[in-house]
A and B are shown apart, each in its own frame.
Chain A
Amino acid sequence: MTLPPSVLQAQATLGELVDLKSFGEVCQSFAELYRVGLKVFDAQGNKLVDVKVGNADFCGYIWQKPDGRAQCIATVSRVKSEEVPEEAKPTVFDCFSGCRYCVQPVVYEGDVIGRIVFGPFVPEDLVRLPQGLTGISKDFDEKLAAGYLQKIRRVAQATSEKIVKHFGDLVDVLVFTGHKNQLTARLHIEAMQESYRELQEKNRQLEASYAALKELDRLKSNFIATMSHELRTPLTSVIGYSEMMLEGLGGPLTSEQREYLGIIMEKGENLLQLITSILDISKIEAGRTRLVIAEVDVGQVLRDAVATVLPLARKKGVKVVWEPSPLPRIHCDRDKVRQCIVNLVNNAVKFTPAGGQVTVDARPLPGERVALQVADTGIGIAPDHLARVFDVFYQVDGSSTREYGGAGLGLAIVKSYVEAHGGEIKVESAPGKGSTFTVVLPVRAAAGPVMSPVGTTQVAAG
């Protein structure tokens, strides 16, 4: 990679360094102040400024005579392009007409970038018109010319040099300022362009690594989905055959055998549930979960869900309270909503010590919505963990010796399903006192995409 050439490499011309319009105005007022004409050329001989003061009649009269015109052109050409020393000092040029010019190069950073021509003016010591002028034509009217000459200012040599030097200093400052401004502006742009180019390059690299990561993530989800499925199939057999044996289909069992088989079945069910959760979440992440919307009796769904969790609660000594109340029928995916409630109640039971209570409640909300609430009197969640409890695999207690089991998937799945219904889930908690999870569902859900809860959390945070 190489950078495009910078303005720092470029050689600027006088015309680029000063603002020609305002420079012209400065020259105009300067020439008017001293009542002498002023011209400024750039290094290539282009005339940038030409202010005529007082000499129009005199020079115009000479210009009418062919000889006068020729000599005038010669003088102008000398003044414009004859070589002068490369330093900021005036050089005098005499015109055949008796007038005089004072010329000074514009030197910037050691280079001649233009020249200042001050004049014509009448030298102070000029007494009468020179012969070279009066003799240019037989009909030359000396009196008329002398009259015209009166209109041109008389300037002493020393004064003219002082004026030109003063103007040279002025131009020097203008050029320096102009150059400085030009470099500032151009470099600003160049720096921006360079930063932009650099950012683009970094963006490209980021995009590439993002794409690679996404692909890896997709492969991971696929792998988990496949694995979960492959794990579930034999597990179903393990559970099924245990059940058959318990029912005595394999012959009579001793009480010890029954106890062991019971443990195999229970642990098998736990494992199956876990694998199912993993399968669900990987389906969600892969974007393969679809809602099946139908008209559903929410009361019925709640009853089912509570019934599912009741044995676990009884075993743990946690009371589950549920008062059926009249609710509208709503459009939703029955299985997904049921699973949400089961997950929430399961969690509530899990984190509530014996003697505690889990309350399930449902009520219609204004705006065609329904609120489903699961409150417990459990250990609660500290405020700094609240925002993250819905993240996949997130555990408030992430230590390996933690007291409560689970893979950290339940709430993530709930959030995905609820949001896919166009609903929302909220949590309030006081550590040591308990937590309340509230699911708000629209009465008429449109089937939205089921998205990974990690993504939705990030969007919400951003």
Chain B
Amino acid sequence: MVQFNNETRELSIKVVYYGPALSGKTTNLQELFKKIDPKVRGRLMTLDTKDDRTLFFDMMPVFFRTSTGVKVKLKLYTVPGQVMHESTRRIVLQGSDAIAFVADSRRSEAASTLAYWNNMLKNLEANGLDYRTLPIVIQMNKMDLPDARTEAEFGDLKEIISPMVVPAVAIRGEGVLETLYALLQLCYRSLDARIGLEGKWKISEQEFLACIFSHVDMRGTKLATVGAPR
């Protein structure tokens, strides 16, 4: 849950990349690491095993100050995908403000993707988080592979809630920024409704997103033409 400190005027926001093993969660963070200006981000911390599989999580902090002097700290996490790390996934999910669910789009992965999706909803509930109101974006990753599902075929994930779906090829950096942008936009709106970002903290949606995305290499994304703020 967003941590905010009125005295020091600080906001800490937690974003978690969730999904099955090898769906591309770490790849997302690595791409973001490449694209975000080192001035506004810290190191990418990866706790992995010898075989390059995520053991606990990856984490990258992004931080900025708004024009009204509010310090915003955004922490991006991934969860370990392998089935056996269930308890770690639950711990990392704790206090999330927004979730990117990274799905392997291939039809062959549909069953395990759905299982992880339901498992995530269960773990959110276990953490006292309401997935009906929590900002969640589904990233359909690996869209370049021949067996990939189309957006219309993702209905199985939309039975309980109906989150936005963003197509991606994370390994080529495609859709990675779009996912984060969409997620942070939802996240802003949810936080605004809860703690009054606009009214109380004097941070507009445009400024919130601009503070981050003006420090991001937007080349090759659709967002560049949409007009990255500032």
Residues of A within 8 A of B (CB): 1-3, 5-6, 8-9, 108-111, 176, 179-180, 183-184, 187-188, 190-192, 194-195, 198
A187 touches B127 (CB 8 A): no
B128 touches A2 (CB 8 A): yes
Give me 25 A-to-B residue pairs in the complex whose CB atoms sit less than 8 angstroms apart, sorted by A's number.
A1-B126, A5-B94, A6-B91, A6-B92, A6-B94, A8-B91, A8-B92, A9-B95, A109-B42, A109-B63, A109-B73, A110-B40, A111-B63, A176-B45, A184-B47, A187-B57, A188-B56, A190-B87, A190-B91, A191-B87, A191-B91, A192-B87, A194-B91, A198-B86, A198-B87
Measured between C-beta atoms, what is the minimum distance from B202 to chain A in Å? 20
B106 interface hit (Cβ, 8 Å): no
By a CB distance below 8 angstroms, the chain A residues around B3 are 9
B85 interface hit (Cβ, 8 Å): yes
Residues of B within 8 A of A (CB): 3, 40, 42-43, 45, 47, 55-57, 59, 61, 63-64, 71, 73, 75, 77, 85-88, 90-92, 94-95, 126-128
The verdict on A110 contacting B126 (CB below 8 Å), with A6-B91, A187-B88 known, is no
Query: Which residue of chain A is the closest to B3 with respect to CB atoms?
Result: A9
By a CB distance below 8 angstroms, the chain B residues around A108 are 42
| Sample of 7 more A-B contacts, CB < 8 Å, known A110-B73, A184-B47, A194-B87 | A3-B126, A3-B127, A9-B3, A108-B42, A111-B63, A191-B87, A195-B87
B91 partner, pick from A3, A109, A111, A179, beta carbons under 8 A: A3
By a CB distance below 8 angstroms, the chain B residues around A3 are 90-91, 94, 126-127
By a CB distance below 8 angstroms, the chain A residues around B64 are 110
B94 touches A179 (CB 8 A): no
Measured between C-beta atoms, what is the minimum distance from A282 to chain B in Å? 43
Query: Which residue of chain B is the closest to A190 with respect to CB atoms?
Result: B91
B56 touches A184 (CB 8 A): yes
B45 touches A110 (CB 8 A): no
By a CB distance below 8 angstroms, the chain A residues around B71 are 110
A110 touches B61 (CB 8 A): yes
The verdict on A2 contacting B91 (CB below 8 Å), with A109-B63, A109-B73, A184-B56 known, is no
B126 partner, pick from A2, A5, A8, A180, beta carbons under 8 A: A2
